[in-house]
Amino acid sequence: MYTLAKFVRQCGYIKPNFASRIVEESLGNGGFTRPYQSIASQVLYGKWNDLPKKVQHYVQDNVKLCKPDTIHICDGSDRENEMLLYILQRDGMIKPLPKMDNCWLARTDPKDVARVESRTFISTENMRDTIPVVKNGITGTLGNWMSPDDLDTELNMRFPGCMKGRTMFVIPFSMGPVGSALSKIGIELTDSAYVAASMRIMTRVGKKVLKTLGNGDFVKCLHSVGAPYPLKEPMVSNWPCNPKETIIAHLPERNEICSYGSGYGGNSLLGKKCFALRLGSILGRREGWLAEHMLILGIENSKGEKKYFAAAFPSACGKTNLAMMKSALPDYKITCVGDDIAWMRFDKDGKLRAINPEAGFFGVAPGTSMKTNPMAMETISRNTIFTNVAETSDGGVFWEGLEGEVSRTTKIKSWLGVEDWHAEQGKPAAHPNSRFCTPAAQCPIMDERWQDPEGVPIEAIIFGGRRPEGVPLVYEAFNWQHGVYIGASMRSEATAAAEHKSKVIMHDPFAMRPFFGYNFGHYLEHWLSFQQKQDLDLPKIYHVNWFRKDKNGRFMWPGFGENSRVLDWIFRRVNGEDCAVQSAIGNLPRKGSLNLEGLQEDVDMDALFSIPKEYWQKEVKDIGKYFDEQVHEDLPPEIMKELRSLEARVNSM
């Protein structure tokens, strides 16, 4: 009988820990590197000659450097996916979830669960290209710069021989629909089958990409878990990584990304944050477009009138949930174009057009339920890789927020492997940054134009964050420049998406603080530049806050599907409806203009929309200090002008 196991064996895949040993035995030379034969003979899967010359050179250079035992050239086929999953399962990195359809659970080393911002660097000749020059004596918080020489030293300490005993996967991928003028191609080299299987979901992978690429240029993405054989330390949860040596490096001048030591998605799926946001934002500035940490949604009313909005909220602050919400207002239908990243460009008619460069969702699991996000629940019911969630005794998944949706008799095993987990034990069942990785095409409300190579026209841009105090549910910018100021002054409670202590209120301008590819001051100039251009249809700009809390620490607004009430108000504003009143901070909904029909919960609207004067005076002061210290001389004067006008308006409240 022809089995997958047999096929995998025939291809020559051996367990990584045995690979080097076998090479060692067969060579009888103490296990040092295998004598250099031809690179083609190292290829277990795929054809070396199918690779364009430039790609061959890139692979060749890095095979010499990283010394993998074998090479796999990804073609994106279903059969390949079965192999990847088989290998991952065999190596104990994932296990099947039999209650679901082709779903898998990965548990990481608990030291490798989130993005590591402190180890993320951008390297350019000129420091000021990358980060603002901060005020004397202040530590910068708007990105980490490293000189190319220093970075080379860091990389040379890590990459040589880093893939020994492992297979190198060569992943040709397209960010954006293959062949669209707005899309870009990358090649990721990785020694992680988990990354290969996830990239297949998150991006468009395969032969078509190579064909489109031809001998053109691509973004070079090198990734290693940093755990060559023989291992220096035993693996935890069969999850290879190297947290002590982790580094995520960007070399925009060489169109290159090098990530070492972490297998976690945000650090290892290099098409996402590293390429689509950090390098993307640099390209955007150079070429006159925008790469943003934004969801894209479609909203259609009962008259068949349709608009598209983009929204930037920091990590784990509600993009996925807004992008695929089920509207509480029966008059509206929401459709999803993307949940995390938007590439946007003004077209020849002056309309801002957006594409979602991704093909999947790498979404936060906790909090997702039939009640809060039924569309996500449907999406993740099949072909999904879960990471660091808890599992149920009947072969399903569990996380905080699903309490009402599992039967009382099922037992729960926590993400750390604690059997018979109970909430009373005081630790969460799932890691707060546990994620699902799932194909976008499976979402029942994908917009009919989500893969449109032209992109969709954006009519409103929404900023927001977790603001427990002082910030109303929604307000509207007076104009583009004021809107850019609002984006620049964004703040939010830290979340588990990165290594920061959660609940601290952090500045997170444009929800891009961890993702700026270049100097934030220059980024602001780029945004402001659009108001000088003739005949652009500039979208209206808003700020929302679903996370205001009352005295008892409870959310004042029910959120999720009820957020459609805010989208409705924005929709009508974009249509020019007179339903706003001016306030010191922006335009607020006129009393009674927010549609509250059918709202089940009692909401104290006055409290939800209040703008406490002292709070805002402090806010203005904090933001002024932040700009002065962190952006300093790189702050465009227009932004300071906006801050001063806000201050004057707040003082005269």
Ligand X SMILES: O=C([O-])CC(=O)C(=O)O
Ligand Y SMILES: Nc1nc2c(ncn2[C@@H]2O[C@H](COP(=O)(O)OP(=O)(O)OP(=O)(O)O)[C@@H](O)[C@H]2O)c(=O)[nH]1
Q: Is 508 in the site for Mn ion (CB under 5 A)?
A: no
Interface region with ligand Y, contact rule CB under 6 A, candidates 17-25, 172-180, 311-319, 602-610: 311-319
| Alpha-carbon radius of gyration of the chain | 25
CB-CB contact of 294 with 287 (8 Å): no
Q: Is 266 in the site for ligand X (CB under 6 A)?
A: yes
For residue 313, the minimal CB distance to ligand Y (Å) is 5
**501-560 positions binding ligand Y, by CB under 6 A:** 546, 555, 559-560
115 binds, among ligand Y, ligand X, Mn ion, none (CB under 5 to 8 A by kind): ligand X
Q: Which amino acid belongs to residue 383? A: N
Binding to Mn ion by CB under 5 A, coded x per residue (else -) over 309-348, reads ------x------------------------x--------
**244-263 positions binding ligand X, by CB under 6 A:** none
Q: Which is nearer to ligand X, 489 or 495 (CB)?
A: 495
Q: Is 191 in the site for Mn ion (CB under 5 A)?
A: no
For residue 416, the minimal CB distance to ligand Y (Å) is 19
CB-CB contact of 421 with 404 (8 Å): no
Distance CA 547, CA 32 (A): 57
Selecting among 317, 336, 437, 443, the annotated active-site residue is 317
Distance CA 397, CA 99 (A): 9
Q: Is 642 in the site for ligand X (CB under 6 A)?
A: no
- Measured from the Cβ of residue 183, the count of other Cβ atoms closer than 10 Å reads 18
Helix (H) or strand (E) holding 156: helix 148-156
For residue 481, the minimal CB distance to ligand Y (Å) is 26
Q: Is 32 in the site for ligand Y (CB under 6 A)?
A: no
SS3 content of the chain, % helix, strand, coil (to 5): 35, 20, 45
Distance CA 346, CA 355 (A): 12
Phi, psi (rounded to 5 degrees) for 361: -115, 130
Q: Which is nearer to Mn ion, 146 or 512 (CB)?
A: 512
The closest of 352, 429, 423 to 397, measured between CA atoms, is 429
Q: Is 273 in the site for ligand X (CB under 6 A)?
A: yes
For residue 88, the minimal CB distance to Mn ion (Å) is 24
Distance CA 550, CA 556 (A): 6
Distance CA 543, CA 573 (A): 13
Distance CA 607, CA 570 (A): 20
Q: Which is nearer to ligand Y, 363 or 636 (CB)?
A: 363
For residue 353, the minimal CB distance to ligand X (Å) is 23
Q: Which is nearer to ligand Y, 191 or 508 (CB)?
A: 508
Alpha helices in 40-77 (DSSP H): 53-66
| Count of residues of this chain found to bind ligand Y when the rule CB under 6 A is applied | 22
317 noted as active-site residue: yes
Q: Which is nearer to Mn ion, 238 or 502 (CB)?
A: 502
Q: Is 367 in the site for ligand Y (CB under 6 A)?
A: yes
Structure tokens, 133: 């020059």
CB-CB contact of 39 with 188 (8 Å): no
Instruction: Name the β-bridge partners of 307.
Output: 299
Q: Which is nearer to ligand X, 274 or 325 (CB)?
A: 274
For residue 314, the minimal CB distance to ligand X (Å) is 7
CB-CB contact of 375 with 342 (8 Å): no
For residue 227, the minimal CB distance to Mn ion (Å) is 26
- Which residue has tokens 């993320």? 120
CB-CB contact of 629 with 138 (8 Å): yes
Distance CA 174, CA 213 (A): 9
**461-520 positions binding ligand X, by CB under 6 A:** 497
Write the secondary structure of 56-99 as one string of H (helix), E (strand) and C (coil). Answer: HHHHHHHHHHHCCCEEEECCCCHHHHHHHHHHHHHCCCEEECCC
**557-576 positions binding ligand Y, by CB under 6 A:** 559-560, 563
432 binds, among Mn ion, ligand Y, ligand X, none (CB under 5 to 8 A by kind): none
Interacting residues toward ligand X by CB under 6 A: 115, 265-266, 272-273, 315, 340, 362, 497
Interacting residues toward ligand Y by CB under 6 A: 313, 315-321, 339-340, 363-364, 366-368, 372, 497, 546, 555, 559-560, 563
Q: Catalytic residue positions? A: 317
Interacting residues toward Mn ion by CB under 5 A: 315, 340
